[in-house]
Amino acid sequence: MLTELLREAETSVERRPSADIQLENRDDVIIQSRASKFFCGEQRTSSPFDDSSGNEAIGPAEVAILQSMVTGGHMLSFKAHFLSELPSLLPLSNTLTHLNVSFNCLQVFPKDICQLTQLKDLRLRNNPIREIPSAIRSLKSLQLLSIPFNLLTDLPQGLSCIH
């Protein structure tokens, strides 16, 4: 079977000069593509996530939000996405109950979070956030706030009275 794949890869390269194949040994086939316009002998179609100039119109964060919406919109995790800002969370403002944005690069507390009326569990661990806004008190359903390993020096007054 590997031999058949190697033969197919060799012939497909002859048809399409945009792909390079390096055969290190008979066990490895490394295909390096330079913007290949073909896949398995067929021309590639454009991605629905690319704009007209070929740039990404929707990124991984937006895909995570869409996936959350499709599954009911209750949970969303951006854990270790290394985001410096969050995309709009407003589509989930009435459904989101659990949000994990730990291990990112958020320097400012995302304001959209304060509009998540059903939020029960908020995890902000390991971000360089310096301040939690007093608007966090509007999260009346919040039961768990995890904020270790941030750069906080103070907490808003009345934070312990949220729930």
Lookup: tokens for 159: 């934070």
User: Looking at beta carbons, which pairs linking 65-68 to residues 24 or more positions away fall under 8 Å?
Assistant: 65/89, 65/91, 65/92, 68/92, 68/96
Query: Measured in whole angstroms, how far is the alpha carbon of residue 3 from the centre of its chain?
Result: 38
What six digits make up the tokens of 140? 């009346």
Q: What is the H or E stretch that residue 142 is in?
A: none
Confidence (pLDDT) at 157: 86
pLDDT tens by residue, 30-83: 344 444 555 566 665 555 555 556 565 678 888 899 899 999 999 999 999 999
Residue in the block written with tokens 């990112």: 104
Domains of the chain in start order, with CATH, are: 2-43 (no CATH), 60-161 (3.80.10.10)
pLDDT tens figures, 93-145: 999 999 999 999 999 999 999 999 999 999 999 999 999 999 999 999 999 99
What would the two tokens of residue 24 be?
């290190």
Residue 16 has pLDDT above 50, yes or no: no
With bands split at pLDDT 50, 70 and 90, how would you rate the model's confidence at 27? very low
Residues whose CB is less than 8 angstroms from the CB of residue 51 and which lie 6 or more positions away in sequence, other chains included: 57
Distance (Å) of CA 29 to CA 1, 18, 50, 53, 70:
13, 16, 29, 32, 37
Residue 152 has pLDDT above 50, yes or no: yes
